[in-house]
């Protein structure tokens, strides 16, 4: 005779009676110093909130630069990095093929757009942790199983650096290195800005000196503006990229002109440019392209916007 076991119906843990003894939290501290450090940091954050009140950059909730709800929405927006090069005109050949694979952590909209804008233009450095984790997911998705890849940040212009006091891409990469979120990768600050030749400048009166970097420029104007604007660093302390696989790191992918210029400068220095990564792409992937990125982009061969992205000169 065959015996069958009767399954007990699943019970809601919130309705279950409390345990006779308090369970030990699985995230409890093994070292007293770690607990003391967290308590000190939490107390310092509360004191800082009293001295310098801060609101959520997305919804305006008090006492946090990014509240819990908006933080969760940001993680959902960057949970599945996608290929974005086919939506960047400067990275598409005349036959429709991609010139360089690019992985974006998310689409430039909603919470991601607001966080990037606040981080870059309004000095909200507290958002660096969330944005850095989004960048780390995109880097791992782009590199796949590749090892020894050099991450090359796109340099910022002198005017943008003087205005902000920092380079957004460099700051995010340094944070990832300190946190150990990108093991197996090295950061090579191998590019620098140069003055483009006169023939590549935008032939429009007043356009080159207009505020806002590349905002408001057409596809052709962006390409002409950045053409010849980057060069590999030279000198005894400059990192060498000759013969090394490199992934270009940028903050926002718009037309792809900046990434294309960075790839040109690196290839001129002998680097093997295998792809690029951006924190956000202004154009979401087409429905036929799929949402998730294919692995090993860096291997061999391998909605509507509320906020307008700010690109450096």
Class for the domain spanning 80-289: alpha beta
Percentage of the chain modeled with pLDDT above 70? 70
Domain ranges of the chain: 80-289
Question: What is the band of 185 on the pLDDT scale with cuts at 50, 70, 90?
Answer: very high
Q: pTM of the predicted model, to two decimals?
A: 0.74
Higher-pLDDT residue of 13, 155: 155
Tokens found for residue 212: 């806002």
Residues 225 and 202: their CA atoms lie apart, in Å, by 6
Report the relative pairing of strands 191-193 and 186-187 from DSSP bridges.
Answer: unpaired
Higher-pLDDT residue of 18, 166: 166
Tens-digit pLDDT profile for residues 194-229: 876 654 454 544 444 444 455 555 555 555 677 788
Tokens found for residue 161: 């650096």
Residues 312 and 153: their CA atoms lie apart, in Å, by 13
* Mean pLDDT (the chain, rounded): 80
Q: Are residues 167 and 156 in contact, defined by beta-carbon separation less than 8 angstroms?
A: yes
Tens-digit pLDDT profile for residues 47-90: 766 666 778 999 988 878 899 999 999 999 999 999 999 999 99
- Cβ-proximal residues to 256 (8 Å cutoff; 6+ apart), any chain: 85, 88, 89, 90, 91, 92, 100, 102
The whole-number pLDDT of residue 308 equals 61
The whole-number pLDDT of residue 205 equals 43
Tens-digit pLDDT profile for residues 137-154: 999 999 988 888 999 999
Strand partners for 250: 278
């Amino acid at each position: 005779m065959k015996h069958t076991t009767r399954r007990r119906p699943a019970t809601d843990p919130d309705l279950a009676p409390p345990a006779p003894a308090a369970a030990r939290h699985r995230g409890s501290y093994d070292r007293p110093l770690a607990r003391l450090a967290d308590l000190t940091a939490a107390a310092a954050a509360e004191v800082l909130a009293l001295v310098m009140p801060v609101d959520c950059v997305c919804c305006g909730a008090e006492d946090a630069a990014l509240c819990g709800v908006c933080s969760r929405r940001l993680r959902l927006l960057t949970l599945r990095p996608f290929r974005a090069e086919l939506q960047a005109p400067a990275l598409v050949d005349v036959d429709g093929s991609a010139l360089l694979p690019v992985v974006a952590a998310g689409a430039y909209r909603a919470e991601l757009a607001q966080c990037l804008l606040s981080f870059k233009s309004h000095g909200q450095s507290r958002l660096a942790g969330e944005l850095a984790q989004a960048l780390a997911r995109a880097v791992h998705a782009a590199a796949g199983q590749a090892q020894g890849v050099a991450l090359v940040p796109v340099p910022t212009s002198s005017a943008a650096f003087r205005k902000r006091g920092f380079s957004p891409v460099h700051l995010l990469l340094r944070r990832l290195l300190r946190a150990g979120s990108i093991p197996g990768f090295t950061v090579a600050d191998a590019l620098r800005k140069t003055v483009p030749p006169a023939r590549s400048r935008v032939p429009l009166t007043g356009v080159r000196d207009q505020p806002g970097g590349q905002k408001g420029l057409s596809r052709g104007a962006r390409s002409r503006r950045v053409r010849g604007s980057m060069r590999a660093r030279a000198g005894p302390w400059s990192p060498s990229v000759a013969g090394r696989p490199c992934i270009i790191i940028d903050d926002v992918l718009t037309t792809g002109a900046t990434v294309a210029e960075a790839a040109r400068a690196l290839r001129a220095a002998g680097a093997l440019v295998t792809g690029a990564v951006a924190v956000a792409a202004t154009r979401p992937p087409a429905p036929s392209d799929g949402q998730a990125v294919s692995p090993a982009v860096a291997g061999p061969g391998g909605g509507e916007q509320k906020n307008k992205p700010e690109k450096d000169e």
